[in-house]
Amino acid sequence: MKATSPKIAQVVATNQPLVQALNTGVHTNQEVRQVVAKITGQAIDPSVEIRLPFYTDFGRHLQIGKNVFINSGVTFTDLGGIQLADRVLIGPNATLVSVNHPLDPADRRNLELKPIKVDTNAWIGANATILPGVTIGENAVVAAGAIVTKDVPANTVVAGVPAKIIKKIKEV
């Protein structure tokens, strides 16, 4: 996909002022959800809590379930799609990136889009990075500072760079 698509540019031009206004003002939780709903083009459930600042470079491919908590400074690069299931927790300054660029210098300005899925009741720790195409399984925990390059099975804890399984969690 070309990074300079007119449709992409139009969405970015619409959403970036909304993101900037969100992050430079004082807002109630309800106001935050209303602005994020405009950015994503989807209703945000009243059970969702989003701490500011909130960052997205696109916004329209971000799906947020119920009872989701997004802490301050989280960045969503969502052009490739990011899906947060119900009861997901995301720690401060985590980064979820669904976009990459080809290694070939001649194609580097193009985009490689791979969706991220964070399953029910998963927890992404502070400063963790989730890379394109990764699925975080149900009840899984990504430790603070981890860089996740491949899928995380349900009911496991991953840590490190690159993230590896360090513990199994009892199934709920």
Please report the DSSP string for the chain in residue order: -BTT-HHHHHHHHHHHHHHHHHHHS---HHHHHHHHHHHHTS---TT-EEPSPEEESS-TTEEE-TT-EE-TTEEEE-TT-EEE-TT-EE-TT-EEE-EE--SSGGGTTB-EE--EEE-TT-EE-TT-EE-TT-EEPTT-EE-TT-EE-S-B-TTEEEETTTTEEEEE----
Checking phi first, is residue 87 left (phi over 0); if not, alpha (psi -120 to 50) or beta? Answer: left
Query: Against a cut of 0.85, is the pTM above it?
Result: yes
Q: Give the pLDDT of residue 6.
A: 87
Q: Is 101 a catalytic residue?
A: yes
The domains found in the chain, sorted by start residue, are 6-168 (2.160.10.10)
10-residue mean pLDDT series, the chain (172 residues):
77 94 96 98 98 97 98 97 98 98 92 96 98 98 98 98 96 66
Q: Give the pLDDT of residue 4.
A: 64
Q: Which of 5, 43, 101, 107 is the catalytic position? A: 101
